[in-house]
Structure formats: C-alpha cells, structure tokens
A and B are shown apart, each in its own frame.
Chain A
Amino acid sequence: MSIVTVTNLKKTYGDFSAVDGINFSIEQGEIFGFLGPNGAGKTSTINMMIGLSRPTQGEIIIDGIDARRQIKKAQAIMGIVPDESNLYNEMDGFENLCFCASLYGMRKEEREPKARQLLEQFQLKEAGKRPFKAYSKGMRRKLTIAAAIIHSPRILFLDEPTTGIDVESARQIRELILKLKEQGTTVFITTHYIEDAERICDRLAFIVGGKIVANGTVNELMESASHGHAIRLVTDINSENLAADLQARFTSSTVEITRDHALVLRSAERIPLLPVMEYFDHNGIAVYEARELRRCLGR
C-alpha cells in the first residue's frame, strides 16, 4: 500500500522550474531513494512534501492526508532530517533532543529516557552534555537524525544525510536507516551518491533538471530494464574532451556530439542509465540533462 503519493508536482521560482511535474509513490515500509545531481530539485521536492514550501501545482497525499490542506496533521507522523542541521547551537545535545520531543507532545517522563537512549545508541553519550555548536559535522548529522526519530515517526525524510561527513559516520547512518526500516519505518532519502542508493534503497527515482528521468527498483535500474537506445546528456564540462573517455568506458555504445554540444550515447541494445550516471558522478561531472531520445523515460 502506498503511504505517499505525489502527483504532477511542480515548483517554479519566477520562470525557472525547479521541480517540473513529477509523479511517484512510496510504499509502506520501504526505503525510497531520490537520486540526482546538485540542483536537480531534490530539496525543493522534499520541502514541499514536509510543508516548508508551497507547491506551485500538484498533489501530495501522505497516509491518506492531503498535505497541502492539512499539513499539521501530516507532520505529526513525519520525522525530518534537513540537509543542514536546524538544531539550536547554544543548547547541548540532550536539551536539543528533549526540546524536539516536546514539539511533538512527548511528556518529560517519556522524552528524557528516550533522549538518553538515543544519545547512547548514536555514540553521543559524552557529547550529550556539550553545546551543539561544538559538534563535528558527523556528530551534528547524527544528533539531527536522533532528533528526527525521537517521536517514533512513521515516515522519515532525510535530505542528503551522508553528504559532507566522514566515511564512518556515513556508514553508521546507513546502518541506522536499515534498522529503522526493519522496525517498520518508511524512509524517503535524497542523495547524489549512487553507492548510497544502491546499498540501502528498495526503489529509486532518478531526478535531473526537475524531472524524473527513470524510476524503479535498484535492480531494474542497474540492468537494462526498460531504457531506450539513445541517451542525450548535457554536462558542465566540454563535450569534446569527454566524448573519447566516455567511448572508451562504454564500448557497446557509440558516442556522438550534437551541434548544441550535448552528448548522445547510441546503442543497438538498451543502455542502462545508472552506470552512465555513476561514471559522471565518479568523475565529479555535473549532469544538467539526461534524457532518452527514442521514448519517453520513467513513465
């Protein structure tokens, strides 16, 4: 059963479309990944779902609640980990957790033991007494997650939870997300790391330039499930330099450069999109556009 359904969601800033008519649904109890490069529209989408920003158009249903009409009711079952922490710098870890719990109506007898337990679980027991501003990046992210789950939300939203922190903290966070899933929490996670998506997500939507260009299970996207035979790509570096390298890497395709300096990969067989994106990601190349030429992608 879907716990989240998003239909034709749009967000424009002036005449720029940050999110351009996307559709997806999240099943109860799964980890749903939103994968895309910087500026793809991930944060814009999440902010509309959690009620920090108003959709320009479209519908968001969360657990049967129309999130555009009754956002406060929907927020009661949500846990939110924003891309930048929004905890209080002056308060210590324990106080921050208790304050967040109180915002969800948890009483003192309930929230204090839970806060202690979370600090222990996240290996922040000592840090619990220090002010938040003294935390390292990894610790900040972990405490932000602890604050988001203290009220046992049914659906957890995480915006790039593994970006910009040390490898060990990132690993702990992935493990924690898997554990939450075991306990029945539904998870919506955005990331620009393909590895993250592969490791923990059940299903993925690939978003570029505000559009979902592909979606499906991780396996479907890794193998050549339903992609067309030509992909058009626009990146932030010179196509001429990139073409030879790309050709060497994807030998079953031919790489062309169009007149408007886009790259086109053509193949007699279907081209799996994910390895191509992985290649760009590893080389630190930003992709502005990824589009199938023959057929429309991603339903």
Chain B
Amino acid sequence: MQLIRSPGGSLLELLPGLIAMSVLFGTTSMLAVTITFERSGRSFDRLLLAPISVSTMVLAKITGAIVFGIFNAFVPVIFAAFFVNLGAVNWGVMLLAVLLIAITSTLLGLLIAVSAKQVFEAQTFSNFFRFPMLFLCGLFVPLSSLPVFVRPVSFLLPLTYGTDILNGAIAGANLLSPMLCYGVLLAFAAGLFLVCLHNINRKWIL
C-alpha cells in the first residue's frame, strides 16, 4: 500500500482521497444517523403523516445531507492550501465530482437508514460499507494494483467513478473518460433514489 508518501508535492496526490473520504463519511453518517434517530424517537411519523409526498420529503432530507457533504469536502482542501500550490486544480470539475460523490453517498446512507432499525445498527452498517469502498475505489490503492478478481467489484462502486474525476481535476491522473464517469454516477444516483423510495414505501408504512 502507498498510504505513507513523501510530504510536499504528493500531498496533492493524497487530496482526492481525503476529499472523497470526508464527503463519504459526512453524508452517509448524516442520513443514516438522523433518520434512524428520528424513526426511533417516532418524530419521523409526523413527517409521514404530513400531506407531503414521501418523495418530496426524502428529497428534502437528502438535499440537507448533500450540502453538508460539500462543506465537508472543503475541510481538507483548506488545509492543503497551506502546504501546496493548488493553482493547477480544475475547480469546476472538482466541484462537480464532489457534488456527484455527495449525491451517491448520501443515497447509500439513505439505503442504510432504510435498512437499519437503530442508530447503532446504522453506524455499524455504514462502516461495513465504507471501509471496503475506500480501499476498492482506487483512492489509496491504484486500481491497476488491485488483484484482478476484485477489480470488477471496484467498477460496481460509485465512488470509483467519483474518485477518477477527482484525480483528473486535482492531479490530472484520471483513468476513465470523464463523460463516462458523469453518466455512471448519474445512473447510480437515479437507481439508488428509486430503490430507496421503493424500500421506504414498503418498510416504513407497515
């Protein structure tokens, strides 16, 4: 593993990983914890009883988490700015990548929230997903050094595509075509949203 690198210039190589990690952890725990908390305290019932469609309510919830995730992304960026020159970073693309990572990981958090009954369960579930994802998505271990048999798994993770865009925007080191990545991430977002809605309708209204 190449976790420990020489300081200085390679901080730039580490930055995409740190950003993705902040977004991933921020968004997944935000929804997984707040929703299971509201559900166990029954205040979630109040939302289900209001004359607001479930999809509108879910959209409002995830918007909050996405905004939170985007703020999280800038914590490592601000720190990095003290040590390295960020002049070469393509900010527009980076922001887009952060947004897409925030959306997909928020929806993963929602999926966990829908499946878990308690806050504790949600936390455990989240870690079960998050850590393997971090190591399989090419952030810390380049995809090319992963064993051949796990690589297909990497390509099933939305984070792999988000990471690739980030790598391109910050260090100019992307593997895939950016358009492909955007497309795949949007497809993941739409798919996850529909799965979440379906599960919510099935599980929350008994």
Contacts and interface: CB of A to CB of B under 8 A. Distances in A.
Contact of B53 (A72, A88, A103): A72
B43 A51 contact: no
B45 A86 contact: yes
Given A52-B205, A54-B205, A103 B45 contact: no
A291 B52 CA distance: 42
A93 to B, nearest CB: 15
B48 interface: yes
A86 B42 contact: yes
Interface residues of B, number: 15
A50 B44 CA distance: 14
Interface of A: 50-54, 72-73, 75-76, 78, 80, 82, 84-89, 100, 103-105
Given A72-B52, A72-B53, A86-B42, A103 B205 contact: no
A53 B53 contact: no
A259 to B, nearest CB: 39
Interface string B27-51: 0000000000000011111111111
B8 to A, nearest CB: 45
A87 B205 contact: no
A104 B43 contact: no
B43 A52 contact: no
Contacts of B53: 72
B51 A86 contact: no
B43 A80 contact: no
A52 B51 contact: no
A86 B50 CA distance: 13
B150 interface: no
Given A52-B205, A53-B206, A54-B205, A75 B43 contact: no
B206 A86 contact: no
Interface SS, A side: loop
In the A-B complex, the 10 residue pairs with the smallest Cβ-Cβ separation, listed nearest first, are: A103-B50, A76-B51, A86-B42, A75-B51, A86-B45, A86-B46, A53-B206, A86-B43, A72-B51, A88-B43
B205 A51 contact: yes
A87 B43 contact: yes
Nearest to B47: A103
Nearest to A103: B50
B52 A82 contact: no
A88 B45 CA distance: 11
Given A72-B53, A89-B41, A52 B48 contact: yes
Contacts of B46: 86-87, 100, 103
Contact of A51 (B41, B42, B44, B48): B48
Contacts of B48: 51-52
16 contacts: A52-B45, A53-B205, A54-B206, A72-B53, A73-B51, A75-B51, A76-B51, A78-B49, A80-B49, A84-B42, A87-B43, A88-B41, A88-B43, A103-B47, A103-B51, A103-B52
Given A86-B44, A105-B51, 16 more contacts: A51-B205, A52-B45, A52-B205, A53-B205, A72-B51, A72-B53, A76-B51, A85-B42, A86-B43, A86-B46, A88-B41, A88-B43, A103-B46, A103-B47, A103-B50, A104-B51
